A and B are shown apart, each in its own frame.
Chain A
């Protein structure tokens, strides 16, 4: 882990997937989030609330990767059991990478999905709480 951190430019990131995403892609994802917040700043409460509901339902990268892994692994196990044992390489490889993803935040499909704009739950919630702040949910209680 320390070796990886040494070559990784994004070591300050505590979100493992963000830390393993190229700076260019991360900036693009952040820019999209910021633009969304800017666009909604002048809108009424109802529109902000509707967008927050959409964010709550957005598929994050964990959900996408879980679907991806389980479909490939399941197919591999079925083919391995019925056609040829060689197909067992498939679940072996995807589950191995999935374990690496869980521990380190990277596996081969991550860069692909990130370039498609799939966000981590932290990134989605970041936008959500910026909108909640604009809606006035997070105004500091008055100090007495």
Chain B
């Protein structure tokens, strides 16, 4: 992987850090657009419900990797043990992803808009803010602010 394409490797969200700036910007713009729409329609509950069910990047690649690895194992057991290359590569790539964030399908999946949980949660809390979930935190007595903040972020 060439260093030239990596812009924010220090991003604690390793997947965002490994995504090109164009794809990250497009994902952010879509989120902003949806937040505007939710604000215009006051359609907060439905939007939050949709976000709760969105498949995040980790879930997508875990499903893909497990399925690919299992198919490779079956092919190796049935036909030719050279097919063991498939689960071997899948496991290596998953390890590389867990440690450094990179993954062979990352550019493709990010370009079609698969988001990290951090990105989904950012949109989620922006919508919660617009719904007024955090309004009591600001107004609360200082000793009750933590309680109100914790209540506002209910899962």
Instruction: Assess the B121–A138 pair: CB atoms within 8 A.
Output: no
- The bracket for how many chain A residues form the interface is 35 or more
Instruction: Assess the B58–A62 pair: CB atoms within 8 A.
Output: yes
Indicate if A28 sits at the interface (CB-CB under 8 A): no
Nearest-Cβ distance from residue A120 to partner chain B, whole angstroms: 8
A133: contacting residue among B97, B132, B153, CB under 8 A:
B153
Indicate the member of A41, A56, A78, A136 with the most B CB atoms within 10 Å.
A41
Indicate if A11 sits at the interface (CB-CB under 8 A): no
* Chain A residues with CB below 8 A from B147, complex form: 38
Give A72-89 as 1s and 0s: 1 = Cβ < 8 Å from B's Cβ atoms. Answer: 011001101100010010
Indicate if A99 sits at the interface (CB-CB under 8 A): yes
Nearest-Cβ distance from residue B36 to partner chain A, whole angstroms: 13
Indicate if A96 sits at the interface (CB-CB under 8 A): yes
Are A37 and B117 also in contact (CB < 8 A) when A69-B91, A70-B92, A134-B137 are? no
Main secondary structure of the interface of B (DSSP, over half): helix
Give A96-136 as 1s and 0s: 1 = Cβ < 8 Å from B's Cβ atoms. Answer: 10110111000000000000000001110111011111101
* Chain B residues with CB below 8 A from A123, complex form: 155
Nearest A residue to B54 via CB reads: A14
Indicate if B152 sits at the interface (CB-CB under 8 A): yes
Instruction: Assess the A37–B146 pair: CB atoms within 8 A.
Output: yes
* Chain A residues with CB below 8 A from B56, complex form: 121
Give A45-73 as 1s and 0s: 1 = Cβ < 8 Å from B's Cβ atoms. Answer: 00000000100110010110011011101
